[in-house]
Amino acid sequence: MNVVTTCKIRRDIREHLVTAYPEISFQFCEDITEAEPFIHEAEVLLTYGEDLQDAHIEKASNLKWIMVLSAGLDEMPFRKIEEKDILVTNVKGIHSIPMAEYVISMLLQVSRQAKTVIENERLRRWDKKVRMNEITGKTMLIAGAGAIGQEVARLAKAFRMKTIGISNSGREKEYFDEVYTNSELTTKLSEADFVVSVLPSTPETKGFFTKEHFQQMPSHAIFLNMGRGDAVHDRVMLEVMQEQLISHAILDVFEQEPLPEAHPFWGMFNVTVTPHISGVSPDYQPRGMEIFEHNLKEYRNGTNDYLNKIDPRKGY
């Protein structure tokens, strides 16, 4: 069996794989360009997914399984993958811990006026009139009630928050006090002090949040987007913040990345910009490889009890 990577894998993980599976041939490449000469031999491809194109899938005549080391799959060539009946799995769920910590840390920074405090420190300004707020006892609405959303809700419970989930099904989920369908979103926004989006990028979620949704939120609300940038169009988000419909936006994802240096978001005091890092963690690849090794065992044994099997027709 030939396994080819199209992304940089940590040295300790490479060494572990080679030692643990001496019967498997691993070709470790750091990008798709380096991997191209070996793709035609690959039975298994380890990738972050965004670099794969139809031509690569066509060339990979022996390819049976693509293991995507990310949760986002919006740039995958699924039509060609489905045509060739290739198994796809991903690492859904491994982002939940760092992304949930990101939410709490960012909400605390905004509520405790971190921007102002840091600026005052830089200026050596002793200002005890800085208005501090608490996040304890507030209401958090989370659009996307999957593994990441549930972990966010679990941490929110440590601050005695009421948690409202929004999902396709509206089914009850652990750590949520209430769960509603996407169509019921508008009816619950007026209750939310914090609105968190962890929505993936699908045809149904593009432009999910409209200006009218923000108009339904309380003026003191904080909106945080760390799912995909196209869940709310940048121009809509810009209008919302220019008109101060809500108090603050924390944005980790954007329609265009990197966010252009000239974009107004950078200079807006009521917007916090982070460069798509909410899921970054030193434990990212080790957690992803645990899923890969589980699925590798299933693949070799033919038992097919895969974790995070993806339906190419749906894209998730």
Q: Is the entire prediction scored with pTM above 0.85?
A: yes
Contact status, residue 26 vs residue 17, Cβ threshold 8 Å: yes
CA distance 38 to 59: 10
96-130 per-position pLDDT tens digit:
999 999 999 999 999 999 999 999 999 999 999 99
3-state SS track over 33-102: HHHHHHHHHCCEEEECCCCCCHHHHHHCCCCCEEEECCCCCCCCCHHHHHHCCCEEEECCCCCHHHHHHH
Q: What is the residue type of 299?
A: Y
140-189 per-position pLDDT tens digit:
999 999 999 999 999 999 999 999 999 999 999 999 999 999 999 999 99
183-200 per-position pLDDT tens digit:
999 999 999 999 999 998
CA distance 214 to 106: 19
The domain spans of the chain are 2-90+283-310, 95-273
Whether the predicted pLDDT of 30 surpasses 90: yes
Instruction: Quickly name the fold that domain 2-90+283-310 has.
Output: Rossmann fold (3.40.50)
Mention the CATH class of domain 95-273: alpha beta
Q: How confident is the model at residue 29 (pLDDT cuts 50, 70, 90)?
A: very high
Q: What is the residue type of 288?
A: G
Instruction: Please tell me if the domain spanning 2-90+283-310 has the same topology as the one spanning 95-273.
Output: yes
